[in-house]
Amino acid sequence: LWRLADFAEETIKQVRERIGTDRVICGLSGGVDSAVVAALLARAIGKQLSCILVDNGLLRKDEERAIVDEFTNHFKADLHVVKAEDQFLEQLAGVVDPQEKRRRIGKTFIDCFKREADKIEDAKYLAQGTLYPDVIESGAAADGPADTIKLHHNVGGLPAELGFELVEPLRDLFKDEVRKLGLQLDLPEEIVWRHPFPGPGLAVRCLGEVTREKLDVLREADAIVVGEIKAAGLYRATSQAFAVLLPVQSVGVMGDSRTYDNTVAVRCVNTDDFMTADWSHLPHDLLARISTRIINEVKGVNRVVYDISSKPPATIEWE
Ligand code: XMP
């Protein structure tokens, strides 16, 4: 940890020297990388930092609130929240193809981000949470299969044409180091230990067409999955755990009546590098609690299944 303490101090000093009196924009995604970059910059340059959070309507339950609380109350950063749920849902209406979803989300994200960034005067730099593995991957794997299976989109992927100089203070770090740094910078554990979340968010966990109603169902189911895994003390022992809403209805029985409702799949994996992954062998009583709670508490769901596929050949996300 001593090395990271030095790293934080040294990086803060370097950032201050480089930025001088200029303004830096930082996109917040809800993820740990962008939060750590913002926290580091808030320490380094305080009021010269402006953060942008694009609320695409595809975030997990309470995700936006946690970020807004942290960056307005704790770091007192200049935070711009772009309310863009309607715009994203309009773009996604009628779209079922996963890659097309990603393309539209990526494009809408850039539009929203750019429009907000243009309002921030004197911004010269853009801070990004690029990590060491991203640096290697973009150099080495440009033609590798991992890149083409899913078109990745995340906040770290803003295009150069936005016209900012990049600040990437985490370029030499691995994920576990970023987490430690986050704790050192007083970010709450809730943010620091949050499982990774894809840029296109719940849109790729809501199979088929994405609608507000389906997203609401998915958010509730997902919160139960994560909540129960945390309550069982297994959140940090798993790498990613979430709910997927399937476009499949099936017959059930509730009281004396027949139901014909939706299916939720629970996906939980263990992995070191996200390139290969095992499905998590969760205790059966935990799975039972998750299933009972989702079926009882989430309206419109009458069946819960557990995904027992490893990667490869399955991927972690269903789309
Ligand atoms: P897959 O589904 O390819 O996922 O096994 C591997 C890891 O990448 C995440 N993922 C994404 N992250 N944009 C992202 O920023 C994306 O489009 C995307 N698709 C998958 C996934 O959550 C897992 O951690």
| Percent of the chain residues topping a pLDDT of 90 | 81
- 266 within 8 A of 304, measured Cβ to Cβ: yes
Cα–Cα distance for residue pair 276/150, rounded to 1 Å: 15
Cα–Cα distance for residue pair 292/208, rounded to 1 Å: 25
Ligand 1 atom closest to the Cα of residue 314 is 5
Cα–Cα distance for residue pair 305/319, rounded to 1 Å: 17
What is the band of 110 on the pLDDT scale with cuts at 50, 70, 90?
Answer: very high
Which stretches does DSSP call E strand in 158-256? 165-167, 240-254
State the Cα angle at 230 between 217 and 273, rounded to 5°: 90
CA atoms 185, 186, 191, 196: torsion sign: positive
CA distances from 68 to 62, 74, 105, 107 (A): 10, 10, 22, 24
Q: How far is the CA of 120 from the centre of ligand 1 (A)?
A: 31
Ligand 1: does its nearest atom lie under 6 Å from the Cβ of 315? yes
Cα–Cα distance for residue pair 292/298, rounded to 1 Å: 10
Does 59 have pLDDT greater than 60?
A: yes
**For the chain, domain boundaries:** 2-192, 205-306
Task: Choose which residue among 274, 275, 311 to substitute to test ligand 1 binding: the one with the highest number of ligand atoms within 8 A of its C-beta.
Answer: 274
DSSP annotation string for 238-300: SSEEEEEEEEEEEEEEETTEEEEEEEEEEEEEE-SSSSSBEEP---HHHHHHHHHHHHHHSTT
The residue assigned the tokens 């989300």 is 105
Cα–Cα distance for residue pair 288/266, rounded to 1 Å: 12
Cα–Cα distance for residue pair 124/24, rounded to 1 Å: 6
**What CATH number has the domain spanning 2-192?**
3.40.50.620
* CATH number assigned to the domain with residue range 205-306, chosen from the 4 options 1.10.3720.10, 2.60.40.10, 3.30.300.10, 3.40.640.10: 3.30.300.10
Same fold? 2-192, 205-306 = no
What is the band of 268 on the pLDDT scale with cuts at 50, 70, 90?
Answer: very high
Orientation angle between helical segments 32-45 and 2-19, nearest 10 degrees: 60
What was the pLDDT predicted at 142?
42
Task: Choose which residue among 92, 108, 317, 318 to substitute to test ligand 1 binding: the one with the highest number of ligand atoms within 8 A of its C-beta.
Answer: 317
CA distances from 178 to 40, 64, 75, 185, 192 (A): 11, 21, 18, 10, 9
| Number of residues that make up the chain | 319
- 125 within 8 A of 25, measured Cβ to Cβ: yes
Average pLDDT of the chain to the nearest whole number: 92
Q: What is the pLDDT of residues 14-26, one digit of tens each?
A: 999 999 999 999 9
- Single pTM value for the model: 0.91
Q: How far is the CA of 119 from the centre of ligand 1 (A)?
A: 31
Q: What is the pLDDT of residues 21-55, one digit of tens each?
A: 999 999 998 889 999 999 999 999 999 999 999 99
Cα–Cα distance for residue pair 132/109, rounded to 1 Å: 24
Q: What is the pLDDT of residues 158-211, one digit of tens each?
A: 666 788 999 999 999 999 999 999 999 999 998 999 999 999 999 999 999 999
Ligand 1: does its nearest atom lie under 6 Å from the Cβ of 80? no
Cα–Cα distance for residue pair 31/201, rounded to 1 Å: 11
Average pLDDT, stretch 208-217? Answer: 98
Does 157 have pLDDT greater than 70?
A: no
Cα–Cα distance for residue pair 182/35, rounded to 1 Å: 8
| Percent of the chain residues topping a pLDDT of 70 | 92
What is the band of 108 on the pLDDT scale with cuts at 50, 70, 90?
Answer: very high
Residue 63's CB: how many other CB atoms inside 10 A? 21
